[in-house]
Structure 1
Amino acid sequence: MSTTTILVADDQADLRRIVRILLTRGTGWEVIEAVDGDDAVEVAAASEIDAAVLDHRMPGRTGIEVAQVLRADGFTGPIVIFSAYLEPDLLAEAERLDIRSVPKGEIAMLNDVLRAALADGA
């Protein structure tokens, strides 16, 4: 059984650390980090990821822009926008790209959403 690798992209180092702890504790998942949207695209291109957790408001590309690149490059795995700014236009674009969203205030949901998405295979 191979390790599940999750890309976490957020410009806030403390939040990346918290998400890393949340996602790796008791799951066996591996987390690789990106410091902004442009870095997320580069890291995803250079790595074999199974899922991505993307902040929306980051320097460089936004989370949605990163998701668009990932989908255009053929990535079919789960993508979660993890943001405090889940506005209607953002949610509509997320739905169009078949990606989930979790408000930053609901960090405890993130593990469950990813686990379900990985089990669904999308």
Structure 2
Amino acid sequence: MTDDAIGLGAAGPTCDLEEEARTRGYRRVAGLDEAGRGPLAGPVVGAAVIVPRRFVLRSLDDSKNVSPTQREELFSVITESAMAWGVGVASEAEIDSLNVLGATRLAWQRAVNQLHAPPDFLLIDGHLGADFGIPHR
């Protein structure tokens, strides 16, 4: 991955939602996403990350659309650049117990709990009704 893959306000992904939260006074805005909700078997993995202001990866709009090699490169760029990041996992047994939606929320909560800098606002991918006691969108 080259340095020019990281851009400011690149076409495609934007920082509009993050900037909107910042204009309302929030400083540690964390993004949340998940993987594993589609497969019939396997865990649900949630991730939370707080990146520097205006951090954008030009080459990324959906992690599900990149190759495993690209995903590894993006992981390195994100974790090296992030102010804080965390990963949470909900097991197959937890999916069976809570259903996939509940397990996704659990994985996200675990990811948020791993952030060494607690977020004051969450940008959550999807409309899953998650509520962590933190303002979110």
TM value normalised by structure 1: 0.31
Tell me which structure has the larger Cα radius of gyration. 2
| Structure with greater helix percent | 1
Higher RCO (C-alpha under 8 Å, 6+ residues apart): 2
TM value normalised by structure 2: 0.28
